[in-house]
Amino acid sequence: MYNVMSPKAEEFINHEEILDCLEYARQNKTNRELIDRILEKARERKGLSHKEAMVLLDCELEDKNQEIYALAEQIKKDFYGNRIVMFAPLYLSNYCINGCEYCPYHAKNKHIARKKLTQEEIVKEVTALQDMGHKRLALEAGEDPVHNPIEYILECIHTIYGIQHKNGAIRRVNVNIAATTVEEYRMLKEAGIGTYILFQETYHKENYEKLHPTGPKHDYAYHTEAHDRAMDGGIDDVGLGVLFGLNNYRYDFTGILMHAEHLEAYKGVGPHTISVPRLRRADDIEPDAFDDGIDDDTFAKIVACIRIAVPYTGMIVSTRESQACRERVLHLGISQISGGSRTSVGGYAEPEPEEENSAQFDVSDNRSLDEVVKWLMDLGYVPSFCTACYREGRTGDRFMTLLKSGQIVNCCHPNALMTLKEYLEDYASGETKAVGDALIQKELEVITNPVVKEKVVDYLTHIREGKRDFRF
C-alpha cells in the first residue's frame, strides 16, 4: 500500500501507485481542462503532487507545453533569481565492492586504474581547486569498507577544511558516498558536511536489483531509506537524484517526486537538491547498451516539470551535459552547476596520464571554471560561490523559511555578488573580470533594502582592498 509517511521504501515509493500514476498521465496527456487546472495550481508556486507533475510531463498539447516551459522559467526567476551556484566534484577513491552495471568502478572491472588519494595528495588537489576559485566541493567515493572506511572520509573532510592557500578556502563540503548507518551519518554531520547526496539511480526495485547484482548497494530498501537515516543522524540537507538512462524516465520522474514528498511529510523538510545526471560513456561502459536513454527535449521537459513540482528544491546539472544542453536547462530550473570538473581520482593538480585512466565517466563540458563563469555572465547569470546559509546555520527548514520569506534579494543576492567579487579579484582572467565588475554594478540595483545595499557597496570596497569572507 502507498503510504507517504511510511519508513519503508516499498510503501513510500510504491510500485502500484507509480503504475497507476503513469496510466493516469497517459490517459490525460491531451486533457486540456485537467492540464489547465494543474497549471493554475502550479502558478500558486506551492508545488504539485507527483501525479499532477506526471500529467504535465506527458502533456502533448503544444500550447500547454509552452506554458509549462514559461512557468518553469518564471518560478526559477522568482525563487532563485539569476544566481547559479558553482561547485566541483573531488573524487577521493574509486575502490569499490559494488557491481553497478553502469559504473566503471564496479568491482569486476580489472582494467580501470584503482586510486585513493592520500592526505598529501588531497592537499595538492584542493590547493589546485582553490587556485581555480572553487569554494564548494562535492566529495565522491566508491563503496569499500577496507579502502574507504568512514574514518578515511572524515580524515579527508578534516584535511580539506584545514587547507588555506593564499585567499582560498573550501567553505562547504558536500558528500556523495554510499548509503550508510545513522551512526556514520552523525559522524559526517559532526565533521561539518553541507549536503549529503545519494542518487537512487532508479526507483524501479526489480531493475534496481538487476543493475546492482552484487555488493551492499544491491539492497534496495537500505539504499532508498538512506536519506531518512541521514536526517536521523542530524543531517538537515539531503540531495536526491536518478541516473537517467537506466530505466523508464517516467517511472523515475514519479519516483523521485514521491521521494521528495516522503521527506517533506515524514521528516518535515523536502530534499535540498535534486540532481539530474544522464548516463555517460565510461571505461567498460557503453550507454547504448542501456535501452532507456532520453533525448535533450525530454531532458529539458523533465527539468521544467521538476522545477514546477518542487519550487523550493535546488537543481543540479553536472559536466556530464554539454555546454549547449546546460544552456538550455539553466533557465528552466537549474540552480547549481559544476565547472572545470575532473571525474578522475586526482587530476586537478596534474592531468592524469592517459594510460592510468581512473575516471568515472567522460565529461561533455570540458571548459575551465573561468570560461564557465564568463559564459554564465554573458548569458545574464550571476555565478555565485556563496556558502553562507550553511555557515550561518540556515540549513533544512531554516533555509526553506528564507526562501519562502521573499528576502532572497537582500540576502542571497548580496552574498552572490560578494563571492563573485572575490572570485574576480583572486582568480579571473582580465576579460572575465571586466565583464564581472560591470555585472556587479548592474546587479546591485536588484537589492531592495537600502541599508543592505549600502553595506554591500562597503563590503565590495573591502574585498577590492584584500579583505575576504563577508556574508549576510
Calpha distance 229→257 (Å, rounded):
19
Applying the rule CB under 6 A, the residues between 205 and 264 that interact with ligand SAM are 217, 243
User: Residue 85: enclosing H or E segment and its boundaries?
Assistant: strand 83-93
Tell me which of 126, 177, 304, 372 binds ligand SAM, using CB under 6 A.
Answer: 177
Closest approach of ligand SAM to the CB of residue 278, in Å? 7
Calpha distance 399→194 (Å, rounded):
12
Applying the rule CB under 6 A, the residues between 335 and 374 that interact with ligand SAM are 360-361
Q: How many CB atoms lie within 10 A of CB 13?
A: 26
> Given phi > 0 = left and psi -120 to 50 = alpha, else beta, which region is 251?
alpha
If binding is defined by CB under 6 A, does position 470 make contact with ligand SAM?
no
Closest approach of ligand SAM to the CB of residue 46, in Å? 30
Tell me which of 17, 58, 144, 201 binds ligand SAM, using CB under 6 A.
Answer: 201
Calpha distance 139→194 (Å, rounded):
11
Under 8 Å between Cβ of 209 and 98? no
If binding is defined by CB under 6 A, does position 188 make contact with ligand SAM?
no
**Core vs surface per residue 221-230: b (16+ CB within 10 A) or e:** ebbbbbbbbb
Exposure on the CB side of residue 435, measured as CA atoms within 13 A:
19
Tell me which of 28, 176, 180, 207 binds ligand SAM, using CB under 6 A.
Answer: 176
Calpha distance 369→391 (Å, rounded):
24
If binding is defined by CB under 6 A, does position 199 make contact with ligand SAM?
yes
If binding is defined by CB under 6 A, does position 144 make contact with ligand SAM?
no
Calpha distance 368→258 (Å, rounded):
36
Under 8 Å between Cβ of 317 and 88? no
Q: Which stretch binds ligand SAM (CB under 6 A): 41-49, 127-135, 137-145, 379-387?
A: 137-145
Q: Residue 176 or 358: which CB sits closer to ligand SAM?
A: 176
Q: Per the structure block, which three cell numbers stand in for 268? A: 518535515
Tell me which of 178, 388, 403, 463 binds ligand SAM, using CB under 6 A.
Answer: 178
Helix, strand, coil tally for the chain in percent (to 5): 50, 10, 40
Q: Residue 177 or 372: which CB sits closer to ligand SAM?
A: 177
If binding is defined by CB under 6 A, does position 282 make contact with ligand SAM?
yes
Under 8 Å between Cβ of 313 and 260? yes
If binding is defined by CB under 6 A, does position 314 make contact with ligand SAM?
no
Tell me which of 83, 115, 280, 326 binds ligand SAM, using CB under 6 A.
Answer: 280
Q: Binding residues for ligand SAM, how many (CB under 6 A)?
A: 21
Closest approach of ligand SAM to the CB of residue 256, in Å? 13
Binding site for ligand SAM (CB under 6 A): 102-103, 140, 142-143, 176-178, 198-199, 201, 217, 243, 277, 279-280, 282, 285, 320, 360-361
